[in-house]
Amino acid sequence: MRLTKLGHACIRLEQDGTTLVLDPGGFSDPGALAGADAVLITHEHQDHFVEEKIRAAVQSEPQLRVFANRSVAEKLDGLGDRLRVVGAGDTFSINGVDVAVYGELHAVIHPDIPRLTNVGYLVDGTLFHPGDALTVPDRSISTLMLPAHAPWSKTAELIDYVREVQPQRVVPVHDAGLSDIGRGMVKMLVGGGGPKTDVSYEPVADGETVDF
């Protein structure tokens, strides 16, 4: 699997000639969806989903299919069979690449702020992107896309989340709000300089591609 980080929570995955893009929001590379076979959206917040961007990509990329939970899908009315509504427990395949859906709710930002729906995606049984939640898959995974910074999170919770999931590696995402110093602090604490997690912490820079 080839992974490219395209800004904040957006990643591009390529495997066996198939390209998936997850969460191409407002802080992502404008060209994130070029040539993609499918886009997977975790929830409706602007840093994960921009309606105009998805509609434009559906028009320009005839092969592109959209997978999203119901609250996002309601904002994409009119896409017909190009759009599939998914929820926790669903599984589907995109040109032979299997995807499983986990989770139902966004993490709590504040008790006064209503919680949105949020789903995470497990791709090919190996890589899990939870969106804005600390959802624990019911199986072992190789790569966890860790939301490294958010209004709803604190590093102590991320450490415990990594301990519970026990992936082989952690790749931080959702970090556009962090300076280089802040990214370094999270790496130190989650990646071995703080409480023990026993995982490999492997940051990927925006625009960088790695093979797993």
pLDDT digits (tens, 9 = 90+) for 70-92: 999 999 999 999 999 999 999 99
pLDDT of residue 59: 97
Residue 147 has pLDDT above 90, yes or no: yes
CB 159 within 8 A of CB 121: no
pLDDT of residue 48: 98
68: Cβ contacts below 8 Å, ≥ 6 apart: 40, 41, 49, 76, 83, 84, 85, 86
Once rounded to an integer, what is the mean pLDDT over residues 119-143?
Answer: 97
Angle among Cα 73, 31, 115 to the nearest 5 degrees reads 35
For 60, other C-beta atoms within 10 Å of its C-beta total: 10
Residue 130 has pLDDT above 90, yes or no: yes
CB 20 within 8 A of CB 63: no
CATH number of 2-197: 3.60.15.10
CB 39 within 8 A of CB 86: no
Share of the chain above pLDDT 90, in %: 98
pLDDT of residue 192: 84
When the pLDDT of each residue in the chain is averaged and rounded to a whole number, the result is 97
Q: What are phi and psi of 22, to 5 degrees?
A: -115, 130
Query: Of the given ranges (98-112, 158-172, 191-205), which has the lowest mean pLDDT?
Result: 191-205
The structural domains of the chain, with segments of one domain joined by +, span: 2-197
Among 43, 67, 1, 11, which Cα is nearest to 205's? 11
Q: How confident is the model over 158-196, as pLDDT tens digits?
A: 999 999 999 999 999 999 999 999 999 999 999 988 899
Q: How confident is the model over 35-66, as pLDDT tens digits?
A: 999 999 999 999 999 999 999 999 999 999 99
Helix-then-strand count for the chain, H and E: 4, 14
CB 9 within 8 A of CB 47: yes
Q: Which two tokens stand for residue 71?
A: 């609250």
Calculate the alpha carbon distances from 20 to 15, 53, 175, 210 in Å: 9, 16, 21, 15
Q: 96-117 as b/e, with b when 16 or more CB fall inside 10 Å?
A: ebebbbbbbebbebeeeeeebb
Once rounded to an integer, what is the mean pLDDT over residues 3-29?
Answer: 97
Q: 181-200 as b/e, with b when 16 or more CB fall inside 10 Å?
A: eebebbbebbbeebeebebe
pLDDT of residue 119: 98
